Amino acid sequence: MDEKRNIIRIDGYEKVTGRAKYCGDLYFDRMLYGKILRSKYAHAKILNINYEKALEIKGVHGVVTSWDVPGEKTIGAIRFDHFPFATDKALYSGDGIAAVACESEEICDRALEAINVEYEELPAIFDMFEAMKKESPIIKEEFDSNILTHYPLRKGNVEQGFKSSDLILEREFNTQFVEHAYIETEAVIAVPGEAKDCYEIYGSIQCPHSTRKGVARTMGVPLKNIRIIQANMGGAFGGKDDSMTILAVRACVLAKKTNRPVKVVYSREESIIDTYKRHPYNLKYKIGVSKDGKIQAMKVLMYADSGAYLSMTPFVTWRSVVQATGPYEVENVETDIYGIATNNPYTGAFRGFGSPQIIYAQESLMDEVAEKLGMDGVELRRINGYKQGSTTASCQKLEGHKVSLMEAMDKVIEKSDYFNKKEEFKIYNAKSERFKKGIGLSCSFRGCSLGAEGTDATGAIVSVQADGSIYILAGLAENGQGLKTTFSKIAADVFGIDVSNCSYLPQDTGFIADGGPTVASRSTLMGGSAVKLGAEIVRDRIKDSVKKTLEASSLDDIVFENGKVINIKNKKEIEFKKACEIAYFDGKNITAYGWYKAPDVYWDEEIGQGPAYFTYVYGSQIAELTVDTWTGKIFVDNAYAAHDVGNAINYTGTLGQIYGGVVQGMGYGLFEEVDVQDGFIKNTNLDEYFIPTVKDFGNIYPIVIENPDKYGPSGGKSLGEPTIELMSSAINNAVSNAMGKRFYKIPIDLETIVTGKQLKRKQKRGSEA
């Protein structure tokens, strides 16, 4: 590895030593604690809320309900359909009915018990197909039906495509509810400001500007009255977006009521019950191929369980439609996806965002098609996979960036010794009664950033100090992914200095412009570009100031390298520090705003056609595993992951993203499922919701591919989400390779391997007997 790129995380010291304050660590004078009362039913009318008894308890300072929300009652990133406090109706078991502010969390518990809510239970729907029936009641009054969204995509003529196919395969896949399981649960402190109707909100908030919109709307005040200050984050994975807006609103209403700071920290159980999950999908794929392995047509029909609220369902399902047919050239495509309302926990953004589901299905399908054609899945992928200039399902020509799908596949195959292993395992499996070994591959393409979801622009401040040290602050937020380090590195590179000269300022909506949400693996690509532009503006101003000192005839002769500013013509040089000092005394503004707006994209919603994203990334992963056919236990001995990142600006961070994403993908494929029974979650803590531990997988081999992208800072683009979307299908294919039979539902748990299906359980802690 290139040592110079092995940079130290700039917020590492405070996090490793425990000095970093997370929201739960923060205290304010006269601060109260808040807690939420949630619905007793998955669907119910709220007839009356009586909290007089709660107010009589010593130490209870306020109880609030929907009535106390001073502005609009709803929030929503796409449509305002989400009530932070249930108004008239509770739509799922996590809906907040009331909240209390008390002198301690213990008193909160007692206060919640003293609140009497009268409900009228309503018929609830937990099954998407039930919800779609004409006779089913409409769950959300503001919609015409329980079908909340529908995205079609039409290309060519599928019927003709199937006619010219030699093999047609139809398969149905199902995926599960999944929990983000970030290490830090949700936390917020709302502090009444000094000025009238102003509030400061501290919190574990992934998208501070999005949260500000929701709080301002519900508090009935202009955006400027709300300041969102992000505390250090213990992970988000997409899960601290609108869920945190909901919590911030609840805390803020309590703060208004009591006129005191109010802190609310969810327990793990509350975190799991209250906030959104990954969408479970039902996917029906029909594929037609010719004898020589060329895909002729694909028809895809998908249903996504949106739960009780819309949240990000439109954007999540839209990404699914764009990428549903995978990184393959298909002339004839017909794809439809529907987002369905139920009374289940609501679903929203989660690392991958509509891609893990489709890739699980489509990459499993590719292997099965290949098997039927008598070829290896790799061969089928090589025939149909995207190459330079290929056309996507939405008729976008892939150009202007390196289409590196084949490169990713070749590299991961080489590293894993895929073909030799297949032969080895055949021999091993023939001898072994108990253990079966298998190897499986999957690959993907992914649109970077928001694409045609909406406005895609962001900013950053680069502020050089007179001594050459630097402040950086960007509109996108550090959620644990390493953004501060990557952004600092980008700025440091512009000035030719070490990253340790940079400090990252606290994230505060009062100090930086709204640069959109920290989502869609867009930070390095978008925010990084803004940082770079800002740094370049300052660099050019410094150049102008030192031109005389360096006796440069042209600004182009001045370069910034190794902590020095050099005139390359006459070799005259000064320290970067000195150059900053000169610029400072020269009266130059050595602070600048960089602003980056993404290239235009377009989508025709009627037919699902258009250039959806301005650039793409490609990746391929391989799982090599052992199945204990006697117990059903699967162990991934080796995982290989090749990803084109454009440019690995923060190399250590790049590896970290790959390790984390691969393991999270293993959890998705093998262990994790939020067990929702009649709208209530049964496994509400991490003793029963199984994320993989360090003992549950073998080696991970990251392969970093770098084909610089013209739109990214120094060529860097997206990595966070591609890493999680591939492992479940690689595992599924490896299990098929090992056992000679296929599975169509994840997670592939112990029972699936032994009995062929998941078994429904009503389990209690301490005993599964």
Partner 1 sequence: MKYFDYFSFDTLGETLEFLKKQKHFVKIISGGTDLIIEFRKNSPKLENIDKVLDISRLRVLKVIEEDNDYVYIGPSCTHTEIVKNDIINKYFPALVEACLSIGCLQTRNQGTIGGNIVNSSPSADTVPALVSYNAELELLKDENIERIFKVKDFIKGPYKNELAKDEMLYCIRIPKDNTEDRLHVFEKLGRRNALSITRISVCANALLEDGKIKKITIVPGAVLPRFKNMKIAEDFLTGKKPQKEVLREASELVAKEVFDEVGERWSTPYKKPVLEKMAFVALCKMFKIEII
Instruction: Name the site residues for partner 1 (rule: CB under 8 A).
Output: 106, 109, 269, 431-435, 630-633, 671, 686-687, 690, 692-696, 749-751, 754-755, 759-762, 765-769
Which tokens sit at 491?
């700025």
Output the smallest distance, CB 765 to partner 1, in A: 7
Query: Quick one: which H or E segment has residue 381?
Result: helix 377-384
Output the smallest distance, CB 435 to partner 1, in A: 6
Strand-pair partners of 98: 37, 65
Residue 25 per-residue DSSP state: G
> Residue 30 or residue 765: which is nearer to partner 1 going by CB?
765
Query: Quick one: which H or E segment has residue 98?
Result: strand 96-102
Output the smallest distance, CB 102 to partner 1, in A: 14
Query: Is the Cα torsion angle 9, 14, 17, 18 positive or negative in sign?
Result: negative
Strand-pair partners of 121: 44
Write phi, then psi, for 723 (nearest 5 degrees): -70, -25
Output the smallest distance, CB 194 to partner 1, in A: 35
Strand-pair partners of 90: 44
* CA dist., res. 7 & res. 734, Å (int): 35
Q: Give the Å distances, CA to CA, from 504 to 459, 460, 557.
A: 14, 11, 30
> Residue 194 or residue 433: which is nearer to partner 1 going by CB?
433
Output the smallest distance, CB 246 to partner 1, in A: 23
Output the smallest distance, CB 418 to partner 1, in A: 23
Output the smallest distance, CB 186 to partner 1, in A: 18
Which tokens sit at 474?
């960007």
Which tokens sit at 63?
């109880």
> Residue 607 or residue 686: which is nearer to partner 1 going by CB?
686
> Residue 106 or residue 551: which is nearer to partner 1 going by CB?
106
Q: Are 363 and 356 in contact (CB under 8 A)?
A: no
> Residue 22 or residue 690: which is nearer to partner 1 going by CB?
690
Contacts of 762 (CB under 8 A, 6+ apart): 677, 682
> Residue 80 or residue 428: which is nearer to partner 1 going by CB?
428
Output the smallest distance, CB 690 to partner 1, in A: 5
Q: Which of 526, 521, 522, 524 is nearest to 720 (CA)?
A: 521
What is the strand order of the sheet 564-567 is part of?
A: 558-561, 564-567, 573-575
Output the smallest distance, CB 707 to partner 1, in A: 38
E strands, 218-294, are 226-230, 262-265, 281-289
User: What is the SS3 string spanning 405-429?
Assistant: HHHHHHHHHHHHCHHHHHHHHHHHH
Output the smallest distance, CB 698 to partner 1, in A: 11
- Helices 355-373 and 727-739 sit at what angle, rounded to 10 degrees? 30
> Residue 349 or residue 634: which is nearer to partner 1 going by CB?
634
Write phi, then psi, for 541 (nearest 5 degrees): -70, -40
Output the smallest distance, CB 673 to partner 1, in A: 11
Output the smallest distance, CB 66 to partner 1, in A: 26
DSSP string, 242-261: HHHHHHHHHHHHHHHHHTS-
> Residue 80 or residue 690: which is nearer to partner 1 going by CB?
690
> Residue 201 or residue 636: which is nearer to partner 1 going by CB?
636
Output the smallest distance, CB 272 to partner 1, in A: 13
> Residue 196 or residue 695: which is nearer to partner 1 going by CB?
695
Which tokens sit at 668?
């998705």
> Residue 320 or residue 429: which is nearer to partner 1 going by CB?
429
Q: Are 154 and 608 in contact (CB under 8 A)?
A: yes
Please state whether beta strands 89-90 and 332-341 pair in parallel, antiparallel, or not at all (unpaired): unpaired
> Residue 353 or residue 743: which is nearer to partner 1 going by CB?
743
What is the strand order of the sheet 457-464 is part of?
A: 502-504, 470-474, 457-464, 591-597
> Residue 268 or residue 422: which is nearer to partner 1 going by CB?
268
Q: Give the Å distances, CA to CA, from 102 to 35, 50, 197, 203.
A: 9, 17, 22, 19
> Residue 109 or residue 166: which is nearer to partner 1 going by CB?
109
> Residue 389 or residue 766: which is nearer to partner 1 going by CB?
766
Contacts of 267 (CB under 8 A, 6+ apart): 185
* CA dist., res. 249 & res. 252, Å (int): 5
Contacts of 596 (CB under 8 A, 6+ apart): 457, 458, 459, 526, 527, 529, 530, 533
Output the smallest distance, CB 104 to partner 1, in A: 11
Output the smallest distance, CB 100 to partner 1, in A: 15
How many CB atoms within 10 Å of residue 400?
13
Q: What is the dihedral of CA 751, 756, 760, 766, to 10 degrees?
A: -10
